[in-house]
């Protein structure tokens, strides 16, 4: 079975720029304008802070920017040399179960 997908290898890119790109790709994927897409990227040094951290957070730590994001979780560090993958998937085609998708992907 062949499945069409996009692969975007962005090299080193600012986190906020890629975050905005992800949001646009999510809209396009939801409208079925594009196939599933995987973004591969590295970011300059940055900490992201998810919803699990209550209250105010500093804007930087030891000169490294801090960005509050809408995802779950707590603190995540990104930096040069760390390859990050952001999948943009149609979960309706996967019974809206990302855990099942991950388990089946790992077993293949």
The 10s digit of each residue's pLDDT in 40-57 is 999 999 999 999 998 999
Query: How many domains does the chain contain in total?
Result: 2
Could you give the 3-state DSSP secondary structure of residue 14?
Answer: coil
Q: Which structural domain range is residue 67 located in? A: 45-78
Please give the angle made by the CA atoms of 81, 59 and 9, to the nearest 5 degrees: 30
Of 88, 80, 86, nearest in space to 9 by CA: 86
> What secondary structure letter does DSSP report for 8?
E
Residue 64 has pLDDT above 80, yes or no: yes
Residue 2 has pLDDT above 80, yes or no: no
Residue 80 to residue 13: CA distance in whole angstroms: 9
Q: Say yes or no: 37 and 87 in one domain.
A: yes
Q: Say yes or no: 53 and 74 in one domain.
A: yes
Q: Say yes or no: 38 and 85 in one domain.
A: yes
Residue 88 has pLDDT above 70, yes or no: yes
Residue 79 to residue 82: CA distance in whole angstroms: 6
Q: Say yes or no: 3 and 37 in one domain.
A: yes
Q: Say yes or no: 58 and 31 in one domain.
A: no
């Amino acid at each position: 079975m062949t499945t069409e997908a996009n692969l975007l290898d962005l090299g080193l890119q600012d986190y906020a720029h890629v975050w905005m790109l992800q949001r646009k790709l999510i809209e396009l994927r939801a409208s079925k304008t594009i196939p599933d897409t995987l973004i591969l990227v590295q970011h300059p040094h940055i900490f992201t802070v998810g919803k699990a951290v209550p209250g105010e957070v500093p804007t930087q730590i030891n000169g490294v920017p801090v960005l509050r994001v809408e995802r779950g979780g707590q603190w995540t560090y990104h930096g040069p040399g760390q390859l990050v993958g952001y999948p943009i998937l149609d979960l309706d085609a996967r019974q809206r179960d990302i855990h099942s998708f991950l388990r089946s992907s790992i077993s293949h």
